[in-house]
Chains A and B, each alone.
Chain A
């Protein structure tokens, strides 16, 4: 089955700087890669996703890149703000298979 590795487990950046979180997956047939943000005491919430037919997708300050050959994808957050502090999870799946999550990255934005 699919296995998703995520790193770093913790990341601390200065407000206004950029943050990058990376994930690798094992199943070359996976074709859908979402990113979820989880704030304290809440359930995860989708922030951006990408399908295997594109290499990059951007939504305001966040972007995701996908390298199918290397089987890795990354989340990029630019101009970080205090409200970006949260735990971020990457995930991967194919077709109607179950979504497999990475271990999470705790992002802290320092003022």
Chain B
């Protein structure tokens, strides 16, 4: 079974530039998550989709971050304009249902962003 696919694996940009990350979840998984993992910290949820609807985006900095999940499958996360503090690994995860109900989140390998 294919896992969660993410691209690009690495991205270096200047501050105030824009960047987009792509995620393809495990087939059949209804729930998709974007997490931000700053070096030395645990993952922090940015946004959670159930099919193509947003369940939780309370920690998404909406003035610069946006995300969409078209047709309830793939998802993109965009940052515009980027700030130095956005340097982090952006992890995409998927699960059959909501995290507490199904138990397991399946993570991709992440997209490492460096903002200079």
User: What is A's interface to B at a CB cutoff of 8 Å?
Assistant: 4, 6, 31-32, 34, 41-46, 49, 89, 91, 93-104
| Nearest CB of chain A from residue B42's CB, rounded to whole Å | 3
Interface size for chain B: under 10, 10 to 19, 20 to 34, or 35 or more residues? 20 to 34
> Would you call B64 an interface residue if the criterion is a C-beta within 8 Å of the partner chain's C-beta atoms?
no
Whether B4 pairs with A94 at a CB distance below 8 angstroms is no
* Contacts A43-B4, A45-B107 given; does A94 touch B43 at CB 8 Å: no
Whether A43 pairs with B109 at a CB distance below 8 angstroms is yes
Residues of A within 8 A of B42 (CB): 4, 6, 89, 91, 101-104
Measured between alpha carbons, how far is A99 from B101 in the docked complex, in Å? 11
> Helix, strand, loop or mixed for chain B's interface?
loop
Whether A98 pairs with B99 at a CB distance below 8 angstroms is yes
Contacting A101 at CB < 8 Å: which of B44, B108, B110? B44
30 contacts between A and B (CB under 8 A): A6-B42, A32-B100, A42-B109, A42-B110, A43-B91, A43-B107, A45-B107, A46-B103, A46-B104, A46-B105, A49-B103, A49-B104, A91-B42, A93-B99, A93-B100, A95-B98, A96-B100, A97-B99, A98-B56, A98-B99, A99-B99, A100-B45, A101-B43, A101-B44, A102-B42, A103-B41, A103-B42, A104-B40, A104-B41, A104-B42
Whether A99 pairs with B105 at a CB distance below 8 angstroms is yes
Residues of B within 8 A of A42 (CB): 109-110
A-B pairs with CB below 8 Å: how many?
64
Residues of B within 8 A of A91 (CB): 42
User: What is B's interface to A at a CB cutoff of 8 Å?
Assistant: 4, 40-45, 48, 55-56, 91, 93, 97-101, 103-105, 107-110
Residues of B within 8 A of A97 (CB): 99-100
